[in-house]
Homo-oligomer: A and B are copies of this chain.
Amino acid sequence: MADINISSLSDRAAAGQADQGSYSAEPIWDLIELLFFAYRDFVSDPDDVLAKFSFGRAHHRVLHFVNRHPGMKVADLLEVLKITKQSLGRVLKQLVDQGYVVQKEGENDRRQRLLYVTPKGEALAMRLAGLQTERIARALGQIGPNAHESARRFLVAMIDADGRDDVQKLIARADRARRPRS
């Protein structure tokens, strides 16, 4: 970042906000770039930990959703991640072989391999979620009182209209799936 002069950001941001509703001639540069930078940093904390386990982001995603969704079907995971079964197979196999995830035969349908985290898997998943939670909590803490709710609404609205309901159901369902206590 070389010869960069400071200038007031807020007035430009305000102008951008005014733009946005009326005519969309000008791209919403600030949010486009902030999404890039925010997401980059958001995934960087887990990445560092995962590297010590010789795991990557792909493992993280699988571990995360299996942890959140005990008993998830392989097919569900494929749909959530929107990747092919071959791509999933590669990382899932490693997670199973190394004892982070187990697969159990479905009771109703014995073709299914329902996915569960082991205690070891849960520990790692929770550690990674903890890192991301720290970042989010720090961010929310720097903003007003209903920061969580407004961030949530923005992110939900950014999701494809088709998938939006499914995602919200997924989140709601997972909240009940974990936490049988309390």
Contact = CB atoms under 8 A, between A and B. Distances in A.
A46 to B, nearest CB: 10
A34 B160 CA distance: 12
Interface stretch (A48-56, A84-92, A94-102, A172-180): A172-180
A138 B157 contact: yes
A126 B24 CA distance: 12
Copies of this protein, total = 2
Contact of A41 (B159, B171, B172): B159
A75 interface: yes
A173 B31 contact: no
Interface in A50-102: 61, 64, 68, 73, 75-76, 79-80, 82
Nearest to A17: B148
A40 B82 contact: yes
A167 B126 CA distance: 30
A77 to B, nearest CB: 11
Given A2-B76, A133-B27, A170-B4, A36 B61 contact: yes
A170 to B, nearest CB: 7
6 contacts: A7-B173, A29-B129, A33-B68, A42-B158, A140-B157, A142-B153
Interface in A132-182: 132-144, 146-160, 163, 166-176
